[in-house]
Amino acid sequence: MKNQNKKYALLTGASQGIGKAMAHELASKNINLLLVSLKGEGLADFCTEIQNKYNVDAKYFETDFYQYDSVYDVAKWAISNYSVNILINNAGIGGTKAFESATPEYIDNIIQVNVRTTSLLTRLMLPELKKQDKSYILNVASMASFSPFAFKTVYPASKAFIYSFSRGLHEELKGTNVFVSVIHPGPVKTNADVTARIEKQGFFGKIGQVSPQELARIAIKQLLKRDSLILPGILNKLNWVLMMLLPNAWKLPILSRVVRKEINSLNPVGLKLSTIKQ
Ligand SMILES: NC(=O)c1ccc[n+]([C@@H]2O[C@H](COP(=O)([O-])OP(=O)(O)OC[C@H]3O[C@@H](n4cnc5c(N)ncnc54)[C@H](OP(=O)(O)O)[C@@H]3O)[C@@H](O)[C@H]2O)c1
């Protein structure tokens, strides 16, 4: 039997980077945690660390969102055992590649984690969130939501989906007990791959850059203040205004030249007919 009075935040992508920093931030505000990530990333030890440091409850579920049923498994586990009043869809992947260098799996994986997992987990958790007095959903998008980019193509499109999905759902759930917000980080030095890509962007990589800890602090503070569109820091706010004002014909070539610096090769990857599923 689950304890209806003990509330939890369900957080995906919790083992590293922004998700890990958000877990610390939530726990520091006395919020119990349900942490979700890939297998073998030390979530058990992380839960123990959180429990000892903040004296909150922390449970974990290891799964791989590339697997079709994984979203259902996470929702079933959370709903059957815990009362959830916060959902944070943070797990997300990206990359920089010429489109012809991208394998079908690379494209599929971005769509699975960023688009399918975010929208489906939200749908599956909504009845549970509606049972609580007050609930919050936070989706992690990106500044890349606000413009197409060459050499990223699928990633900004997936983040534009998260932006559009979140804003639409926010409007739809207005007047209910469920509040929906979306955050748009600029560059955040998290894992080695992301850090290397940000450094290759030079000056542009520094605009709006914040640490994972600062981003987490802003995200949770603004979410609980019911800010429905979170742009972390003054430079990201200015960047957003520019992105809104400039036509694609101007911003697209400039931004694409910046991300082009992140990749060494434009060589196409051959596709065998046998890799094309019927
Ligand atoms: N860093 C930036 O500059 C930046 C900028 C804008 C937006 N964002 C967004 O912020 C979010 C977090 O990014 P980050 O930089 O902190 O990335 P990260 O360090 O790579 O963390 C991503 C998280 O997602 C989880 N994840 C990835 N693939 C998964 C899968 N197949 N199944 C289950 N979990 C999976 C990872 O789990 P494991 O630890 O188990 O691998 C990890 O905890 C993402 O949505 C990203 O798009 C980041």
Tell me which H or E stretch contains 116. Answer: none
Ligand 1 atom closest to 188 (CA): 3
Report which protein residue has its CA nearest ligand 1's atom 20: 191
Structure letter (DSSP) for residue 113:
I
CATH class of 7-266: alpha beta
Q: Indicate whether residue 132 lines ligand 1 (CB < 6 A).
A: no
If phi > 0 it is left, if psi is from -120 to 50 it is alpha, else beta; for residue 40 that is left
Q: Indicate whether residue 16 lines ligand 1 (CB < 6 A).
A: yes
CA 106 from centroid of its chain's CA atoms: 17
* Spatial separation of the C-alpha atoms in residues 168 and 158, rounded to whole Å: 15
229 alpha carbon – ligand 1 mean position (Å): 20
Could you tell which of 24, 34, 38, 231 is best to mutate to test the pocket of ligand 1, judged by most ligand atoms within 8 Å of the CB?
A: 38
* Spatial separation of the C-alpha atoms in residues 228 and 233, rounded to whole Å: 15
140 alpha carbon – ligand 1 mean position (Å): 10
Per-residue pLDDT for the chain (278 aa), expressed as one digit of tens each?
888 899 999 999 999 999 999 999 999 999 999 999 999 999 999 999 999 999 999 999 999 999 999 999 999 999 999 999 999 999 999 999 999 999 999 999 999 999 999 999 999 999 999 999 999 999 999 999 999 999 999 999 999 999 999 999 999 999 999 999 999 999 999 999 899 889 988 888 888 999 999 999 999 999 999 999 999 999 999 999 999 999 999 999 999 999 999 888 788 888 876 666 65
34 alpha carbon – ligand 1 mean position (Å): 16
93 alpha carbon – ligand 1 mean position (Å): 5
Question: What per-residue confidence (pLDDT) applies to 277?
Answer: 60
Q: What is the pTM of this model?
A: 0.96
Ligand 1 atom closest to 43 (CA): 40
User: What pairs with residue 169 in β-bridges?
Assistant: none
Ligand 1 atom closest to 41 (CA): 40
Q: Do 46 and 35 meet the contact criterion of CB atoms below 8 Å apart?
A: yes
Please give the angle made by the CA atoms of 94, 228 and 32, to the nearest 5 degrees. 75
